[in-house]
Amino acid sequence: MDHFVWNVDPVMVSIFGLKIHWYGVLFALAITAGFQVMKSVYEREDKPVESLDSLLMYAVVGIIVGARLFHVVFYDPDYYWANPGQIIAVWNGGLASHGGGLGVILAVYFYTKRYKINFMWLLDRLAIATALFGFFVRTGNFFNSEILGTPSNLPWAVIFERVDMIPRHPVMLYEGFSYLAIFVLLFALYRKTDIGKYKGLLLGWFLVLVMTVRFLLEFIKVHQADYSTDMVLNTGQLLSIPFIIAGIILVIRGQKARRLARESQG
């Protein structure tokens, strides 16, 4: 069986020694797309659009710092202990989505304090943009031939020639398109229903859906943390469980508030 062979150079273009990577371009597109989603939200709900520039700065710093530190601590601590200078080399890859999530939550907390915006209101709406953000980032992983899947003989398996000649699940694409579908669902619910009125409900569904996808796909991912290879659940799955539990709690609370509101109106 012939399989699709992927061998794209992660460097999109090099100009006078300056290398522009596909991952960097897609990361920039992720930020731009997320910004446009939040701009539409702010305009729809009469929030100060001019404060979005600051939100962007807070969120990007929170995502990068949190994602990098989680990768360093949970996925490859031995390497970074031996090579501390590489900790800041984010351009070489190595960002953990769980850490990015915690980093942006902390950054948003400080932003909401400064601009007097309700913390949970903003997290609910950022969840929509974050799902779209994840789609672009996982596409960037595809261009980098990283976050590989386990070997597979399925017709759509991909040979990542820069790594080896083994057909594998394109698991980063599975994940990316799952995130895109979650974005479409959350954005539709926000625009077409009253779900946005109940604090924590959008965020809860985001956490449940995204982290469940992440948990399930870890079964067909090559393990990224060496010390997790002999464990029943790997590092990514263990880190996903608290987020799933938090999401379930938020959904239950939000749905209860939604039901009570409807009963009082009836």
pLDDT of residue 228 exceeding 80, the answer is no
Q: Is the pLDDT of residue 224 over 80?
A: no
Residue type, 32: T
Q: What is the pLDDT of residue 23?
A: 86
Q: What is the pLDDT of residue 191?
A: 95
Average pLDDT over residues 86-99: 70
| Whole-number CA gyration radius for the chain | 20
Least confident stretch, 108-122, 157-171, 178-192, 219-233:
219-233
Per-residue confidence band for 100, with pLDDT thresholds at 50, 70 and 90: confident
Indicate the pLDDT class of residue 184, thresholds 50, 70 and 90: very high
- Is 138 annotated as belonging to a binding site? yes
Q: Does the pLDDT value for residue 91 go beyond 70? A: no
Other residues' Cβ atoms within 10 Å of the Cβ of residue 83: 11
pLDDT number for residue 93: 62
pLDDT of residue 262: 86
Task: Give the whole-angstrom CA distance, residue 224 versus residue 75.
Answer: 6
203 pLDDT tier (thresholds 50, 70, 90): very high
pLDDT above 80 for 98: no
Residue 148 is encoded by which pair of tokens? 């590989």
Q: Check residues 82 and 197 and name the one with the higher pLDDT.
A: 197
Per-residue model confidence (pLDDT) at position 77: 79
Q: Is the pLDDT of residue 75 over 90?
A: no
Distance separating alpha carbons of residues 196 and 205, to the nearest angstrom? 12
Q: Quick one: pLDDT at residue 226?
A: 55
Locate all alpha helices (DSSP H) within the chain, ordered by sequence. 22-44, 52-70, 77-82, 97-115, 119-143, 171-192, 201-217, 235-265
| pLDDT mean across residues, the chain | 89
What does the pLDDT look like over 108-157, one tens digit per residue?
999 999 888 899 999 999 999 999 999 999 999 999 998 899 999 999 99
DSSP string, 42-73: HHHTT--GGGHHHHHHHHHHHHHHHHHHHIII
11-15 and 167-168 strand pairing: unpaired
The residues facing 5 across adjacent strands are: 159
At 71 the pLDDT is: 79
> C-alpha angle 88/119/94, rounded to 5°?
20
Rounded to 10 deg, the angle between the 52-70 and 97-115 helix axes is: 150
